[in-house]
Amino acid sequence: MITGDLELLKQRIPLLHYLQQRHWTARRVGAHPEFVGLCPLHPETHPSFYVNARKNLFYCHGCGRGGDLIRLVELSLGLSFRQSVAYLQQQIPAPSDPGVLERVVSFCQLQLHRHPQAVQYLQQRGLCDPAIIEELGVGYAPGGSLRNHLTTQGYAFDQLLAIGLINPQGRDTFCRRVIFPLRQQGLLGNLYGRSIGSAFPHRFLPRRSKGGLFAWDSVSCCSSVILVEGVFDLAVLWQAGFRNTTSALGSHLTSTQFDQLCNAPGRLVYIAFDQDESLAGQHAAQELAARLESMGIAAPIVRLPAGHDPNSYYLAGATAADFATCLQAAQRL
């Protein structure tokens, strides 16, 4: 196999994804895409096995062995180089894996600045910082073109239908929607689409969980976090300097999201949910605060002005200092 084919093989099966599929557990190290856990190549009780998700490389400070995915297979399965390559070729997942979603995200990111109405929508929602737009991976699905793009990449109609990217009539599922990729430990598991037109506002890929907390990889190391409902709530708070903000993508948390909030003893979780007229956000905040407090997590509730969420609060003219005052006034149950 030539060098280019080997690199493509390793791109199709990211090292971190390969390990996680085999129940390797790890924690993120700092702000970089690096993770540490117990070495799968020798017995140990203190984590010394590091994976750089960006470089697709590993190194164990315990046994001194390191390399790429192929080398890991050689060492863990006792195979030769050729046997390891053949083994990995058999492990290449069908196009329903995160690989096709990465293509979707890249396509949508290119489309964003080709459609002024999408950029205008972001500005109307208060998201105008190009650096944050890029960091969050925001894109735009205009509709009518994604299917053709993916077809030229070798994906069949039935495959795209099974993933949920098109409907039975062949139309793009995400049409006239701003797209946010949902990642966990660098892996893309789902997409969130927010309509810029009259269609139902929220859309995820069907048959896929929304996963963990949005942008959790950037926030998990913080001793105090601000939990909001929506991605635009998060975006305006990031722009205002509150980079310890994460989103539950709704007011009701999945078990994964709840566990993430509880995975660091002593963490402080500010709950800044919507202050809507239906009181749904307030009730959800109180219920969640009680659950967190029962787990030993301090969870003060942030009271915004009536009818506001963090996004609308900023759009109404609030400043970072105003929101900081709301944080200071937050109270536990």
- pLDDT tens digits for 224-271? 999 999 999 999 999 999 999 999 999 989 888 999 999 998 999 999
When pLDDT is averaged across residues 189-216 and rounded to a whole number, the result is 90
Q: Any bridge partners for residue 204, and if so which?
A: 192
CATH 3.30.1490.20 is the classification of domain 3-91: no
Q: Among all chains, which residue has been given the structure tokens 């049409």?
A: 175
Q: How confident is the model at residue 32 (pLDDT cuts 50, 70, 90)?
A: low
- pLDDT tens digits for 263-311? 998 999 999 999 887 788 899 999 999 999 999 999 999 999 999 999 9
Which residue in 187, 17, 3 sits closest to 85, CA to CA? Answer: 3
CATH code given to domain 216-328:
3.40.1360.10
One of 3.10.20.90, 2.30.30.40, 3.40.50.300, 3.90.980.10 is the CATH number of 98-204, namely 3.90.980.10
- pLDDT tens digits for 128-139? 999 999 999 999
Pair of tokens at residue 114: 């080709």
Q: Note the pLDDT of residue 2.
A: 47
**Mean pLDDT over each residue of the chain, to the nearest integer:** 90
Q: Note the pLDDT of residue 3.
A: 52
Assess whether pLDDT exceeds 60 at residue 35. yes
Q: Where are the domains of the chain?
A: 3-91, 98-204, 216-328
Cβ–Cβ < 8 Å for 309, 275: yes
Phi and psi, residue 184, nearest 5°: -135, 120
When pLDDT is averaged across residues 310-324 and rounded to a whole number, the result is 97
236 or 148, higher pLDDT: 236
> For 17-26, 116-125, 128-137, 169-178, which range has the lowest pLDDT when averaged over its residues?
17-26
Q: How confident is the model at residue 4 (pLDDT cuts 50, 70, 90)?
A: low
Q: Is the pTM of this model over 0.85?
A: no
| Whole-number percent of the chain with pLDDT over 70 | 95
Assess whether pLDDT exceeds 50 at residue 95. no
Residue type, 25: T
Q: Do domains 98-204 and 216-328 have the same CATH topology?
A: no
| DSSP-H helix ranges across the chain | 3-12, 15-21, 69-77, 81-91, 98-112, 116-124, 130-135, 146-152, 157-163, 216-219, 231-239, 255-261, 280-294, 310-315, 320-328
Q: Note the pLDDT of residue 225.
A: 98
- pLDDT tens digits for 46-74? 999 999 988 889 999 999 999 999 999 99
Assess whether pLDDT exceeds 90 at residue 6. no
Residue type, 300: P
